[in-house]
Structure 1
Amino acid sequence: MRKVCFLLAAILISASIFAQTLNLRDITDGKYRAKGIPSAVSSVDGEFYFQADQARTKIIKYSYKTGQAVETVFDIQSARDCTILSFQGFIMSPDENRLIVYTNSEPIFRHSFKADYYYFDIRRNLIRKLTDNKSKQMAPVFSRDGRMLAYVCENNIWLSKFDFGTESQITKDGEVGKIINGATDWVYEEEFGVTQLMDFSPDNKLLSFIRFDETNVPEFAFQNFRQQLYPDFISFKYPKAGEANSKVTCNIFDIESKTIRPINFPANTEFEYIPKIVFTPTSQLAVMTLNRNQNDFNMYFADPRSTIAKLIMREQNDRYINYDFFNSINFIGDQFTYISEKDGYSHIYMYSLTGVPQKQLTSGNYDVMEVLACDPISKTVYYQAAEESPLQRAIYKVDIVKGVKTKLSTKTGYNTASFSANGKYFINNWSNTENPTVITMNDAAGKELRVLEDNKELKSNLASLRLPKKEFITVKGADGTSLNAWILKPANFNPNQKYPLLMVQYSGPDSQEVLDRFTIDWTDYLTTQNFIVAAVDGRGTGARGQEFRKCTYMNLGIKESDDQIAAARYFGTLPYIDASNISIWGWSYGGYNVLMSLSRGNGVFKSGIAIAPVTNWRFYDSVYTERYMRTPQQNASGYEKGSPISLASSLSGKLLLIHGSADDNVHFQNTIEYTSALIKADKQFELFVFPDQNHSLPGSLNRNYLYTKVIDFLKFK
């Protein structure tokens, strides 16, 4: 008996020695971040893919089916006249005889960048600089035959003809702060997710492009300190809610005649935005437009020779149309796909090229999230949906003719997929709360061909940690609606002890925090400090149908904060939660909702941490704000009721306010004006500024400092 006791004691001591605890710096340094794979670019036939090697000195062609390398199409060591040591990215031409690589990239905004581009002729094994222009280039687009490339330099479009080794300037009116040709302005990049709007015609004789006139868009500026004796300013055109947007026109450039002509829309046509243009397989130019309220979507087909446009499809909504649905439009022979919410959930519909609705491909009380690929040969559409649960995602295909649906992903949790051309193969990324990402190669029937990344090393490292387990639960919102939530308890949780609670949330329209996917974040570390952490997706969040996600329309901040307040009251009734020590945390929209919740919560929260919050929707950009609130001129009361500045005198609880001084998205102005309102209301608070940092406060050093400050605030306030 004594031997057994000694053995048990030895095992327990050994386990305590080898068991590890989470370290915050390890988290912010990315130690527990799941590995991915380099981006794979599909060949035109969908049988092969191109991928850069780890050192980014080669581009290798692989077989989707076997995974074997077929050939090295570019190698810095052997390419003739090569002067670069590595590259940051590449684009393959449609004919696969050419490619471009880029180096020395400089970020412009969140996604856009300019760089030094190099053109490589695969057949000749010859590389040269794309242009002799001294300025860097951006937004390159190959012609359909791969023999030309359009790109933007200093707001003008240039055209390189590789067969002749020549280049020419297409537009000459580009000017910073006034005219942008081919590329997009700040608000299109941020809110429509596009950085260039150009496309070549199928016969390679025409180039379509959007011209932005941002002359009358008000300019925003902020100081750039950078340890300079006299700080300078960064300024750019930023249309705030209700202010002037860029004026956009759609144009056609005839490459042979070198003429530019605008598209002629039907009489009395009115629109504010052109978020997407694309040539159809029948050589019509599809031009997609939105009105300023973003509740009237029109797709026109323009004859590129006559420039006459006719309306093909129109969809209206009494609230707004999700701009992501533009990316669901895929042309398949004499049909095209489109995602619509007309039956209350987002589903895939088929239309003829004349705009006549033909059939609804998916249906049910769930949302289709994205059309991933279309195969015109087998008449198949591949897509991602939240059919089994709003917390999960799965990959499906549906036969256009028969309507037969097949689930392709095999594991329950969160699946995303990247398809080869025409949907012949797909790379599937799967994880759930307990398993890091597993990346597999699959065929069109869903069969797993091989594992590309299993993250076994990470999983083994996690097994030695005392990690909290994420529990999915439901709580009642302010109106009794059932809300999805998760809760994290310390690994040594004692049900007889009362714990402080931190509620983390984002809460913005169509967003989700409560998902069955893998992540290790600072909140996991917080549980080692004897905190319980919870997240609740309130009304207005995603994957639960149109009514649920759009019910906050015109009144942002009200139902979202009501639901966090109701959830906090519920958590306060649990025997292991200290109802007097409940806090709320959020970033960006989440920070905004922290301030709304503190001012409307009647003391339910002991404290709140708001990072980079919007404090008045008049300060935020036109596209995002007006999509959900319309303009301040149309909805003055909604803007007033939904402003933390208006509610500053009602603030209850201790507040830590954090912002980057160089935030080009949610401007530091939001925090400064809110600070003034708190001072006038005689409300004490804490403010911390990250100098010269943008909205995301990037970098492991910044993140470690940030979360250390937040945790200290929670522990000692």
Structure 2
Amino acid sequence: MRAALALALLLTATPVVAQTVAERIDRSLALREQWQWLTRDIASPAQWDGDGRHFHYRKTVTGGFAFVDVDATTKAKRAAFDATAIAAALATMTGKPVDPVRLPFDRFDYADARAAIVTTIGDRKIRCTLTAPVCAPLPPEPEARPRGFGVVRDLRVPADNHPRRSPDGKWEALVIDDNLVVRAAGGGKEAWRSQDGSPADFYDPETIAWAPDGQHIALHRVRPGFARMVTRVVAAPEGKVQPEVVQQLYPKPGDAVDQEQPVLFAVADGKRIDVANALFPNPYYLSAPTWRKDGKSIRFDYLRRGFGQARIVAVDADTGAAHVAVSEDPKTFVFRDAIYSHDVGDLGREIVWTSERDGWRHLYLVDGATGRVKTQITKGKWIVRDIAKVDDTKRRIWFSASGVVPGEDPYYKHWFRVDFDGRHLVRLTKENATHELRFSPDMTRYVDVYSRTDLPETSELHDAADGRLIATLEKGDITALTAAGFRPPERFTAKGRDGTTDIHGLIVRPRDFDPARHYPVIENIYAGPHDSFVPKAFWPFGYFSGGDKVMGMQQLADLGFVVVMIDGMGTANRSKAFHDVAWKNMDDMGFPDRIAWMKAAAAKDASIDLTRVGIYGGSAGGQNTLNALLFHPDFYKAGIAYAGCFDNRMDKIDWNEQWLGWPVDQSYLDASGVVHAGKLQGKLMLVVGEQDSNVDPASTMQVVDALIKTDKQFELLVIPGGEHTAGRTTGPVPYAMRRHYDFFLRTLRGEGVADWNTR
């Protein structure tokens, strides 16, 4: 009775209270548009011309952005092009007005000796002439046959079967009736064709590779996997009355993938040279064969099903004999996204390889004949991140790394140069910040853009020999942004579950923060093991910094919350042991570290109220959100889960088998929000896009079904026609964001919901 009375009072709240909530929400929604044009001279990473004589970049200016071109020798700066003229040309092309300081692209390439630029707008490649500017779409390039998450070919779409010419131009190879055919160039007389291809075991024309000497052809023979189709209904198609049905090739964990078998042919007589698969059994992925420069062998990358082994396999062209050039054999998983290899001299005798075999991602020089390590090039309790260049002649590598500098945030990227033998390690970047470098083509200079969440971007031109500063290009100015009330988020570090490992995160407070008050806490979560996610760079509106997360957190904080973001154990870019926490353990999601971190923050700041903790996230963050409520109900009280992959058996094959392995086992069930739906205690809101092509939207509806069957109360918002963003973007009618704000005001602050219907 008392609960019913309270609900009645809530629903009949006076218009004054409802309007107050509405005004506060409108204020938060408007914040991005008000703030994002208030910075000056914040530059994005540079793009060098192919000859190294110039580079260009985008920077913030009054009301938007401008593109700047720099002469690398004289350091003279000028506009990269006439933005007003390009805007007019784009408006003519699209039929819509275009603002010269808000052009609809953030990068471009010069073309035709700098007489034109080429960029991408939406999914179209556009070319704009710079003299008498005219913009027009470029004709689409030939596309390869689509593959569902890279492992099952979409046989509904024809392969790119254009004839591949021999190095001397006399012959061409293609596939006819599933068999490899070699004939005279230009559609001439057929020399020979294979005889054993069939629709169930075909030769793939997109993998045809001629040997440099023209004596052999290598390609893949393919046994198709299971073509699982996800079917979705478009309930309210634009401009139509009746619903439509769409289908998407969508392999899921455990499905049969395409089985690819490398095959060699002697061009002279069509003799097939088989390659035994003993060294690459049960492949999840095989790269197309690549020829070494001398034409004596091919190489290909192999990833075993279950992500437990990665190899480079080399094959002798004459005999088909295979050997392992390098192998990665962890006890848990190979982190596919972090694999890097380079054939020194393009001969395969030596290979530069990244490995985590000593517990940290480092560079190794491997003997390509034996697979044995010749030299561990880098070592220490830090990780290699990006490899910018490997110079085979100088036997030198340029790369970025994190965690090298004691006392700094271990996620900050610094850049280095090192010789193949591990000597002469030179640190090029010095400032206590995270750095993004772009090197000139000859590696003699680089543009460094560095920043922290509390330090605006500075862009500098440096000498790559020793890191010497040549010129300061831009220095970010946030005077107007600060005057408008912006305060950078607080960087906070606390110990994790083990009491020794540092866990890093950010705290965003309301602009009218009062330390004497008590604020509910909301965690913005994304705990996918494929990266780390807490922003490290400054610009709070996007670019490469992840800054949109900070902006969204500020908008929510202004409604009376402390909003946090944390990288717990199981995320990437730390040690192998830190990352391994995720292996077959996706129900963990670093929650013991996150909870310990928030408790440490509350011990330091009495305004943080841990009796009212909320959480929100999308995609993997949606799964994280639901699992927070299911597995840690004593701590998390309310959550909004967007487009969640709530049951890993329902999600895409590649992401889930990477972290949970193959075959599908109990670990998939342990992390399932469907299996554990009956444990729900807190307040839950589910949001899903009806046309989500990233995560099968049925994953959300299966959670809904399980919640109903276990008699649980929850809220559901389906966005008709919505994609994976599921209404998270603010757009002209940010409906989902209003509901987002309403939900947390109601569940964590006990405030009335705004009545949007009376506006």
Report the TM-score when normalising by structure 2: 0.71
What one-letter code is carried by the residue in structure 2 that aligns with 1:462? L
In the alignment, structure 1 residue 272 sits paired with structure 2 residue 247:
no
Report the CA distance shift for 1:710/1:169 in structure 2 as closer, same or farther (over 3 A). farther
Matched residue SS, 2:162? strand
Matched residue SS, 1:679? helix
Partner of 1:467: 486
Give distance in 2, aligned partners of 1:214 and 1:526.
48
Query: Matches of residues 99-498 of structure 1 in structure 2 within 5 Å?
Result: 137-138=142-143, 154-159=158-163, 170-172=174-176, 181=204, 214=224, 216-224=226-234, 225-227=236-238, 228-250=240-262, 264-265=275-276, 267=278, 269-270=280-281, 271-275=283-287, 278-283=290-295, 284-304=297-317, 308-329=321-342, 331-332=344-345, 335-354=350-369, 355-386=371-402, 387-388=404-405, 389-401=409-421, 403-421=423-441, 423-445=443-465, 446-451=467-472, 454-456=475-477, 459-480=478-499, 482=501, 483-498=503-518
Give distance in 1, aligned partners of 2:606 and 2:273.
68
Give distance in 2, aligned partners of 1:200 and 1:417.
36
Give distance in 2, aligned partners of 1:129 and 1:537.
42
In the alignment, structure 1 residue 596 sits paired with structure 2 residue 600:
no
Give the superposition deviation at 1:647: 1.6
Give the superposition deviation at 1:421: 4.0
Partner of 2:564: 534
Report the CA distance shift for 1:453/1:207 in structure 2 as closer, same or farther (over 3 A). farther
Give the superposition deviation at 1:207: 7.5
Report the CA distance shift for 1:304/1:37 in structure 2 as closer, same or farther (over 3 A). farther
Give distance in 1, aligned partners of 2:170 and 2:54.
30
Matched residue SS, 1:156? coil
Deviations 1:640-692 (A, max 9, x none): 22111122111121112111111111111111000111111211111112222
Q: Which moved more, 1:693-702 or 1:205-214?
A: 205-214
Give distance in 1, aligned partners of 2:324 and 2:367.
13
Give distance in 2, aligned partners of 1:559 and 1:51.
40
Give the superposition deviation at 1:199: 6.8
Q: Which moved more, 1:299-308 or 1:525-534?
A: 299-308
Matched residue SS, 1:286? strand
Give the superposition deviation at 1:368: 1.2
Give distance in 2, aligned partners of 1:258 and 1:444.
52
Deviations 1:62-101 (A, max 9, x none): 865456799x9xxxx9xxxxxx9799999999xx999999
Deviations 1:447-472 (A, max 9, x none): 3444555444xx34323221233222
Is the contact made by 2:165 and 2:173 (CA closer than 8 Å) also made in structure 1?
A: no
Give distance in 2, aligned partners of 1:331 and 1:61.
35
Q: Which moved more, 1:274-283 or 1:309-318?
A: 274-283
Matched residue SS, 1:555? coil
Give distance in 1, aligned partners of 2:202 and 2:229.
14
Give the superposition deviation at 1:208: 6.0
Give distance in 1, aligned partners of 2:417 and 2:493.
31
Give distance in 1, aligned partners of 2:223 and 2:732.
37
Report the CA distance shift for 1:648/1:299 in structure 2 as closer, same or farther (over 3 A). same
Is the contact made by 1:209 and 1:251 (CA closer than 8 Å) also made in structure 2?
A: yes
Give distance in 2, aligned partners of 1:139 and 1:41.
29
Q: Which moved more, 1:230-239 or 1:474-483?
A: 474-483
Give distance in 2, aligned partners of 1:234 and 1:39.
41
Deviations 1:472-530 (A, max 9, x none): 22334445454222212234432221111111121121432334322422112223222
What one-letter code is carried by the residue in structure 2 that aligns with 1:471? E
Is the contact made by 1:280 and 1:331 (CA closer than 8 Å) also made in structure 2?
A: no
Report the CA distance shift for 1:273/1:601 in structure 2 as closer, same or farther (over 3 A). same
Give distance in 2, aligned partners of 1:357 and 1:52.
40
What one-letter code is carried by the residue in structure 2 that aligns with 1:383? F
Query: Matches of residues 558-573 of structure 1 in structure 2 within 5 Å?
Result: 558=588, 560-570=590-600
Deviations 1:120-179 (A, max 9, x none): 9xxxxxxx9999xxx862269xxxxxxxxxxxx942232588999999883456999998
Report the CA distance shift for 1:51/1:704 in structure 2 as closer, same or farther (over 3 A). same
Give distance in 2, aligned partners of 1:413 and 1:403.
25
In the alignment of these two chains, the number of paired residues is: 632
Give distance in 1, aligned partners of 2:202 and 2:693.
20
Give distance in 2, aligned partners of 1:391 and 1:210.
40
Q: CA RMSD in A?
A: 4.7
Report the CA distance shift for 1:440/1:335 in structure 2 as closer, same or farther (over 3 A). farther
Is the contact made by 1:585 and 1:591 (CA closer than 8 Å) also made in structure 2?
A: yes
Give distance in 2, aligned partners of 1:177 and 1:105.
39
Give the superposition deviation at 1:345: 0.7
Report the TM-score when normalising by structure 1: 0.75
Partner of 1:188: none
Report the CA distance shift for 1:402/1:558 in structure 2 as closer, same or farther (over 3 A). closer
Query: Matches of residues 68-107 of structure 1 in structure 2 within 5 Å?
Result: none
Matched residue SS, 1:712? helix
Matched residue SS, 1:509? coil
Gaps of 5+ in 2: 1-25, 60-66, 86-91, 95-103, 130-135, 146-156, 179-197, 541-550, 748-759
Matched residue SS, 1:157? coil
Gaps of 5+ in 1: 1-20, 78-83, 108-113, 121-127, 141-152, 184-196
Is the contact made by 2:315 and 2:322 (CA closer than 8 Å) also made in structure 1?
A: yes
Report the CA distance shift for 1:262/1:572 in structure 2 as closer, same or farther (over 3 A). farther
Give distance in 2, aligned partners of 1:208 and 1:240.
30
Is the contact made by 2:228 and 2:249 (CA closer than 8 Å) also made in structure 1?
A: yes
Give distance in 1, aligned partners of 2:126 and 2:219.
22
Give distance in 1, aligned partners of 2:524 and 2:729.
21
Deviations 1:317-344 (A, max 9, x none): 1111111343343535753211111111
What one-letter code is carried by the residue in structure 1 that aligns with 2:47? A
Matched residue SS, 2:340? helix
Matched residue SS, 1:391? coil
Give distance in 1, aligned partners of 2:294 and 2:220.
21
Matched residue SS, 1:617? coil
Is the contact made by 2:164 and 2:174 (CA closer than 8 Å) also made in structure 1?
A: no
Give the superposition deviation at 1:620: 1.5
Is the contact made by 1:249 and 1:262 (CA closer than 8 Å) also made in structure 2?
A: no
Identity of aligned residues (%): 22
Is the contact made by 1:600 and 1:650 (CA closer than 8 Å) also made in structure 2?
A: yes
